[in-house]
Amino acid sequence: MRVFCGIDWASDHHDVALIDHDGALVARTRIGDDASGLQQLLVLLTEHGDTENSPIPVAIETSRGLLVACLRATRRSVFAINPMAASRYRDRHAVARKKSDHLDAMVLANILRTDRAAHRSLPDDSELAQAIAVLARAQQDAVWNRTQAGNKLRSHLREYFPGFLAAFQHTREGLCLPVARVVLAAAPTPAHAAKLTRAQLRSLLKKAGRQRGIEAEADRLREAFQITQMRQLPKVEQAMGHQTLALLRQLEAACTSADDLTAAAVTSFDTHPDAEIITSLPGLGSLTGARVLAEIGDDRSRFTDAKGLKAFAGAAPVTRASGKSLAVMARRVKNQRLAAVGYVWAFSALSSPGARAHYDRRREAGDRHTAAQRHLFNRLLGCLHHCLTKRTVYDEGTAFLSSETPVLKAAAA
């Protein structure tokens, strides 16, 4: 008898329902979110035919957490069902729109019984790939937090200290630059900055790690802070300076976290067997490669062809057809993290003659910059899928068709 398991997840307990191939309920229980609850679940599954060679599949509305991690460790198929999809299935079993935890667990089990082929189980990624996913996603979150903290500080400085922003507007890092953070910590108000001597500025530059051009930079900052500007009232300016120091501490923490997580993600990624293949593609380094690997994993059976990977990344368009109506549009439902790194990847890949020629052709065909980048990202994903499947590194001549050879030669020249 084939049995299917559905688990309605909650923060402190989980409702479990087991149904057979005819849809009849064979067991139900509620377990706690702890080790004893997991043991209770495994015993229940074993009593209803769960074996090492034929484990009972499980459907749950989340892909994270200790319960999911422990279930994946048992080498069983775990299906993370989107809560919105589960709510649509619920209407098939409850016309009156009633809802309960037990009913939701039964709905999840019935999804596997009737439409298992329409859903994808969680990938069987290696332990190293899962660790890289944790680090890469945390690093990306840290970068977003750093950007948010920098924007808050910049907005605040614009209200009372625009001269400081003007002094560092020529740098790419802006307020995230170590020199800018050190100087701002020492002089959070225009009054403090105007009193800084050249010797003090030289000392601050050295403290921030500056090694060359210290004299010229100290003179430049001295002149920038001496420029007359509009000022707040003295006490108001002092109070805003205290707020600046508080915002600066948040930015310091965000910058430190981003740097530490970047080093950890790169170190872990470089030890992965797929690292050499992934970084062989144009535009992918250790950090961007770690982000890509974090989202696609190293389970090669996850995407049977390149089309699935492209749809997952949002690079493939969506076609909506009804009668005589036909519309082709960009895909909105996608892996947002993979799509975000995709534009960085496509932009960096423009240094490759083949990628640049492909981008230029799309632009000449009428695509805007974003659409051309997305099309290039789509093409590179196909190359990545082929390289990972065949276990071979990227080759520029093989990646593009022979009809594109003249264009490649012209671009290279």
**Structure tokens belonging to residue 353:** 């003659």
Closest CA to 7 of 104, 87, 98, 92: 104
Question: Phi/psi of residue 228, each to 5°?
Answer: -70, 135
pTM of the model: 0.85
Better pLDDT: 25 or 412: 25
Lowest pLDDT segment from 80-94, 140-154, 194-208: 80-94
Average pLDDT for 229-239: 92
Dist CA 367 CA 394 (whole Å): 26
CA 45 to chain centre: 35
Sign of CA dihedral 245, 250, 254, 257: positive
Please write the tens of the pLDDT for every residue from 72-129.
988 899 999 988 888 888 877 777 777 888 889 999 999 999 989 888 899 989 999 9
Dist CA 396 CA 318 (whole Å): 29
Please write the tens of the pLDDT for every residue from 358-391.
999 999 999 999 999 999 999 999 999 999 999 9
Question: CA–CA distance from 330 to each of 76, 299, 303 (Å)?
Answer: 35, 27, 21
Contact at 8 Å (CB) between 243 and 156? yes
Lowest pLDDT segment from 83-92, 190-199, 250-259: 83-92
Dist CA 204 CA 26 (whole Å): 72
% of the chain exceeding 90 in pLDDT: 70
Rounded to 10 deg, the angle between the 234-270 and 286-296 helix axes is 70
DSSP H or E run through 161:
none
Contact at 8 Å (CB) between 292 and 341? yes
